[in-house]
Amino acid sequence: MKTKIMSKFLILLVGFLVLSSCNDFLEEDLRDQITPDAFFTNDKEAELAVNGVYRLFHDNNVYRQRGLDNYYTSGADIQAANRDVNGAIHNYLIQEGTADGNGTWIQLYRVVNNTTEFISNIEGNENLSDDAKSSRLGELLFLRALAYYHLTNLWGDVPFYTEQLPVLERSVLGRTSKAEIRSAMKEDLARAFALLPGSYSGNDLGRASKWAAATLKAKYHLFDEEWALAKAECDVVIDGGAHRLLDNYADVFNQSDPSNQYNEEYIFVIDFEADYDGNLATTRTDDYNPRIRDEPAGRNNDTIVNGVSGSKVNIFQGLLRDQAEDMTGYGWSVPLPEFALQENWQDGDLRYDATIVTEYLGWKLAFPYFRKNWNLDQENSLRGNHPENYIVFRLADVYLMAAEAENELNGPGTAYFYVNKVRERAFEPDQPWSGLSKEEFREAMYDERKFELSAEGHRRMDLIRWGILLETVQTVQHRPWNNPAANIQPYHVLLPVPQNQLELNPNLLESDPTNNGYR
């Protein structure tokens, strides 16, 4: 069963909004019992506070809609909208005040504010049991490191603090180097690993485990090209035995049963839940679901099916509804033409059919879609009210990170083991890698991560860390309404510090008056 983080109350702490919540197994309504002065007096209240931080990641500017996806999936070589929308981001027309990520910046700093505040209230708190202090501190350290991971990915140097600061002092902070921030977060994640449990069950599914902390730490090391440290963290996760690669690639993404949306490959997900107040449901699925106004191909043409005549769209929609499905999405995230063509995948790659859909119920579609991320179910996954979890980390990613790090350290010899574990289920018969040089292995990994992890929020950052974003965007085929190749510049590997933040705090320009090259 999923963790149902239900909104129960709002608490104002030290000048910022703290969203707190209650899991379904906490039956009593604590709204009238909790005040800022009385908070953190027992284990339950500490849990409620941490639940509230998880809730912050449900915001539209982060994981609920296309907040992070705007900058992690758009503007690369895999996906874009099926019409002329979101062009400022995908076409690299970003500037201060235009698609500069201000909402995402604000929400991530809410996480930083709350986690830092709560850590100070939990550490050394004699009202809490040792087990509660350990687990809650571990979760908060992980969640803060996740926020700083996104902040440094998107903006590089950003304001940084890990101790409570008065609001006025926080409001004039300049930018700290990305290297310093990431070094501190790696230390925090090592501490989180020691504090966190290795597994959860029942309503606690969705909480951060020690393996989530190790995976995020591996990400930090990989992005900093600390190959030995990245490899070591990956091995910790792989050898820990808490997670396994599923036998069937399609099963990894099967969340059709709302009561059974976890599997052993998931390391950390943002847990969404339909039919509750607040932002507990996700609308991200709508970006991947088709619009019936677009489908099927030649939708307004007349046709005859089983002796019934009518427009193709009416007959097609009738077939969908016969199996309690419909196409009620936005079509904001569909495969780019080259990625949608099976001929551009390796022969025999079983991941293609699990990833791409170009026809449905025997009808050709006007656009290709990501089968792995759509859900047409009109009983359990309605428009604007979807329960699908956002998969942040899964084990296949860890294997591929280990392969990449091992190749950079020692060449492909031992690295084959890791990549071929992922490819075993991708091909029938198996098509393992062998006989590659170090450079050939590195370049082959560019495509392997592309096909294994498409539409999962990794691609653009991969292209940036490999130093090939510009050349990739300039050579891939886009649709007629998009032309990022004409606009992309070297500085687009980062966002500008948002204009609203600069107006509030001019000190953000002290260390870099160019604002990441946008001035």
Q: Which residue has the higher pLDDT, 23 or 310?
A: 310
- pLDDT computed for residue 152 by the predictor: 98
**Quick one: average pLDDT of 107-113?**
98
Give the whole-number percent of the chain exceeding pLDDT 90: 91
The string of pLDDT tens digits covering residues 410-445 is 999 999 999 999 999 999 999 999 999 999 999 999
Least confident among 11-15, 74-78, 432-436: 11-15
Q: Which residues belong to CATH 1.25.40.390 in the chain?
A: 1-196+459-519
**Quick one: average pLDDT of 97-110?**
98
* Nearest by Cα to 58 from 232, 209, 271: 271
Name, in order, each residue with C-beta under 8 angstroms of 272's C-beta and a sequence gap of 6 or more: 58, 64, 280, 281, 282, 386, 387, 388, 389, 390
Would the pLDDT of 350 be above 90?
Answer: yes
Would the pLDDT of 4 be above 80?
Answer: no
* Nearest by Cα to 358 from 338, 375, 341, 378: 341
- pLDDT computed for residue 56 by the predictor: 97
- pLDDT computed for residue 9 by the predictor: 32
Would the pLDDT of 20 be above 60?
Answer: no
**Quick one: average pLDDT of 58-69?**
97
**Quick one: average pLDDT of 461-472?**
98
- pLDDT computed for residue 248 by the predictor: 98
23 DSSP β-pair partners: 5
Quick one: DSSP state of residue 510?
Answer: S
User: What is the pTM (predicted TM-score) of this model?
Assistant: 0.94
Would the pLDDT of 256 be above 80?
Answer: yes
Name, in order, each residue with C-beta under 8 angstroms of 341's C-beta and a sequence gap of 6 or more: none
- pLDDT computed for residue 14 by the predictor: 30
User: 1-196+459-519 in CATH: which number?
Assistant: 1.25.40.390
The string of pLDDT tens digits covering residues 154-164 is 999 999 999 99
Would the pLDDT of 471 be above 50?
Answer: yes
Q: What is the mean pLDDT of the chain?
A: 92
Give the whole-number percent of the chain exceeding pLDDT 70: 93
For residues 154 and 105, what is the distance between their CA atoms, to the nearest angstrom? 9
Task: Give 236-241's long-range contacts (Cβ < 8 A, gap of 24+).
Answer: 236/193, 236/211, 237/211, 237/267, 237/395, 237/398, 238/395, 238/398, 238/399, 238/402, 240/198, 240/210, 240/211, 240/214
- pLDDT computed for residue 38 by the predictor: 58
Q: Quickly state the pLDDT bin for 277 (edges 50, 70, 90).
A: confident
- pLDDT computed for residue 506 by the predictor: 97
**Quick one: average pLDDT of 76-89?**
96
Q: Is the dihedral of CA 505, 506, 508, 514 positive or negative?
A: positive
- pLDDT computed for residue 460 by the predictor: 98
Would the pLDDT of 7 be above 90?
Answer: no
Q: Quickly state the pLDDT bin for 132 (edges 50, 70, 90).
A: very high
- pLDDT computed for residue 129 by the predictor: 97
- pLDDT computed for residue 15 by the predictor: 32
* Nearest by Cα to 297 from 310, 280, 316: 316
Q: Quickly state the pLDDT bin for 278 (edges 50, 70, 90).
A: confident
Would the pLDDT of 37 be above 60?
Answer: no
- pLDDT computed for residue 23 by the predictor: 34
Strands (E), 198-253: none
Q: Quickly state the pLDDT bin for 308 (edges 50, 70, 90).
A: confident
Q: Quickly state the pLDDT bin for 5 (edges 50, 70, 90).
A: very low
The string of pLDDT tens digits covering residues 386-399 is 999 999 999 999 99
What's the CATH architecture for 208-260+393-457? Alpha Horseshoe (1.25)
The string of pLDDT tens digits covering residues 142-155 is 999 999 999 999 99
Q: Which residues belong to CATH 1.25.40.900 in the chain?
A: 208-260+393-457
